[in-house]
Amino acid sequence: MELVTSILAIAIRAGTSLVYATLGEIYTERAGILNLGLEGIMLMGALSGFATAYYSGSVALALLAALAVGAALAAIHAFLTVTMRANQVVSGLSITLFGSGFASFLGQRLGPISNNHRLVGLSGPRIAPIGVPGLSELPVIGALFTQDILTYALYALIPLAWFYLYRTRHGLNLRAVGEDPQTADAMGVDVFKVKYLATIAGGALVALGGAQLSLSYTPGWSENITGGRGWIVIALVIFAMWNPARAVWGALLFGGINAVQFRLQASGTTIPAGFLNMLPYLATIAVLVAMTFWESLSKRIGAPAGLGNAYMREEK
Amino acid sequence: MNIHFEKRKSLSRTALVLVPLASLAASLVLTGIILILSGADPFATYRAMFRGAFGSFRAFTETLVKAIPLTLTGLGVSVAFRLKFWNIGAEGQLTVAGVAAAAIALFLSPFLPAWALLPAAVIAGALAGAVWAGIPALLKTGLKVDETLVTLMLNYVAILFSEYLYYGPWRDPKGYGFPGTAPFPEAAWLPRIAGRAHAGLWVALALALFLWLLLARTRWGFELSIIGNSPRAARYQGIAVERNIVLAVLLSGALSGLAGAFEVTGISHRLQQGLSIGYGYTAIIVAWMSQLNPLAIPFVALLMAALLVGGDQVQMAMGLPAAMGFVMQGMILFPMLAGSLFTEYRLKIARA
């Protein structure tokens, strides 16, 4: 029981960044915009979060900085794909290429002179886990209550995100834009505005997921701190079938893989670390294949019909 | 006044040339702003970058060293992109090819005549790259699994696998703990032209020309362009869409595989850390900036190589992070993408 509780606790900690990013990307994709820039946005979120925390000493400011940076990068994607009608795949890729290059640049430039301008190897303020008195001692579900504030915020954010998407007028408009922008436009929805807002808000959440890495999960800045999480999230959105309420399961699955990796490595397994480290990536492929196969059986897993297409008013 | 965009009947040729040049200029300006904000002199930095990449014969050969893999991976990526098959796995295809070439060079030298060792290693590399790209190609055509993620995930798998080999069973016992295999026998070394620049350069240039002929002048190339425009239209015309996609992606992987095989046989002469340093990702920029035109790719690859080599030099000369080269590369794509609107559309201003 101890073991299960501790693995679950690590899985939740490891999964938190994934849930934030998954929620963000669900919003973006629901408006018909595929953002493959997540890896770059998460890296920039992790970097700006850590750098802000290091210099200001304030975790709250750090989270705000990450949100702003994520929103700004996503705004570039929105401008290129919505206004300039650029290919969404290539635009997302350029956000990732730019974001990872820029984060690496800043990581070697923003640090103090004493550390040769580098941010690597510094320790700054971090978000510590807080146990909820009483609840945290319970077996198994106690794991839910030994987390940090970002995880606790998710317990409220997930139902809210679901409610917003399925039970409000705004959520309906958002889904309509992603499904069929022509009709949404005819109904009087400002398609461009919805796409912009969903992309920018989504990017902000994704960056928050990145900041959770550098402020809580693996505190500090290191190059490639995300380790492909931004890409895994693209698969998790499919796994969640574009529904915020289901975003936790994929994140728990991948957080669980991380936790098991930790456990096995700590217990001195004979499986080489390299093969253990392949697990999340192989699991991502497995998830994709399984979801695609399931889609071929039941016809529809909920991908917004207008996902990936540029919308042009003139072509009505 | 009513301003709107009208789709052009054919791509604007002026825009095809002007947009990449304007993007390069925009990237210089935008990166210049970043440099000023981080307290560096952009003009001095660019001068140092240029000197670092082209300032001496040695600098130029080092730029060529990076331009060769960028040309090959750029060609590879562009073949797949033409079909809207988003192969972002060139990095992994390059890496498994390095592994395969190393396997031949290290373990088959007792069994092969000396003259056959290098060709065998290079062919093994190309085949390994093709196989690695074939996995997502078959998943896509057989099961409709999204190729973007699969190709990318396989990069991580390939890199971890190669690390496992040169940190583990393939590690050179005489290497003083250095992570890398033993050096290849000299029969497996690719001849060098000048400095570290190797004969892979001629192969890369020949392949660029060959690919252009293949895509622009043959029936198969014509079929591929129809598939790229509209798979449905291609199917109506009786073109075997799935089979052609698989073939093109195998070719794409083989080209990136060649890059990896040349890296280990031409540069490092062993499998070691530093094989995957992002060529496969820069290749995406090379392909896109060349507008997927094989003849433009060697030139754009040279430019991107210059940014990388120049970035390294700037680090030594001015203490700026080498990642500057990557920042500039990333910056080029934004204006490129914004500008592609003008190659496909024309701006119409009409009185309402």
The predicted complex's ipTM stands at 0.90
User: What backbone torsions phi and psi does residue B3 show, to the nearest 5 degrees?
Assistant: -105, 125
**Residue whose token pair is 């009185």:** B351
Residue A311 distance to chain B (closest CA, Å): 13
Contact B149 A89 (CB under 8 A): no
Contact B337 A86 (CB under 8 A): yes
Question: Which residues of chain B lie closer than 8 angstroms to A84, CB-CB?
Answer: 337-338, 340-341
Question: How confident is the prediction along chain B (352 residues), in pLDDT tens digits per residue?
Answer: 566 667 776 677 777 788 888 989 999 999 999 999 888 899 999 999 999 999 999 999 999 999 999 999 999 999 999 999 999 999 999 999 999 999 999 999 999 999 999 999 999 999 999 999 999 999 999 999 999 999 999 999 999 999 999 999 999 988 887 889 999 999 999 999 999 999 999 999 999 999 999 999 999 999 999 999 988 999 999 999 999 999 999 999 999 999 999 999 999 999 999 898 899 999 999 999 999 999 999 999 999 999 999 988 888 888 888 888 888 888 888 998 888 777 777 767 766 4
Find which of A34, A96, A105 to mutate to test the B interface (most B CBs within 10 Å of its CB): A105
Choose among A84, A104, A234: nearest Cβ to B337: A84
In residues, how long is chain B?
352
Quick one: pLDDT at residue B343?
74
Contact B334 A80 (CB under 8 A): yes
Quick one: pLDDT at residue B303?
94
Q: How many CB pairs under 8 A join A and B?
A: 130
Question: Which percentage of chain A shows pLDDT scores above 70?
Answer: 98
Contact B327 A101 (CB under 8 A): yes
CA-nearest of B49, B38, B30 to B334 is B30
Contact B164 A272 (CB under 8 A): yes
Choose among B86, B163, B324: nearest Cβ to A89: B86
Contact A86 B340 (CB under 8 A): yes
Does residue B34 contact residue A106 with C-beta atoms inside 8 Å? no
The answer regarding whether domain B41-319 maps to CATH 1.10.760 reads no
Domain range summary for chain B, segments of one domain joined by +: 41-319
CA-nearest of A96, A301, A73 to B152 is A96
Find which of A43, A97, A104, A284 to mutate to test the B interface (most B CBs within 10 Å of its CB): A97
Quick one: pLDDT at residue B328?
87
SS3 call for B4: strand
Q: Which fold has domain A2-110+136-298?
A: ABC transporter involved in vitamin B12 uptake, BtuC (1.10.3470)
Distance between CA atoms of residues B173 and B164, nearest Å: 15
A314 touches chain B (CB under 8 A): yes
Contact A281 B156 (CB under 8 A): yes
Distance between CA atoms of residues B326 and B309, nearest Å: 11
DSSP state of B180: B
pTM, 2 dp: 0.93
Contact B334 A84 (CB under 8 A): no
Handedness of CA B51, B53, B59, B60 (dihedral sign): negative
Which residue in chain B is spatially nearest to A108 when comparing CA positions? B321
Distance between CA atoms of residues B275 and B318, nearest Å: 26
Tokens of B327: 């920042």
Residue B249 distance to chain A (closest CA, Å): 18
Detail the DSSP E strand segments found in chain A: none
Tokens of A132: 């909820």
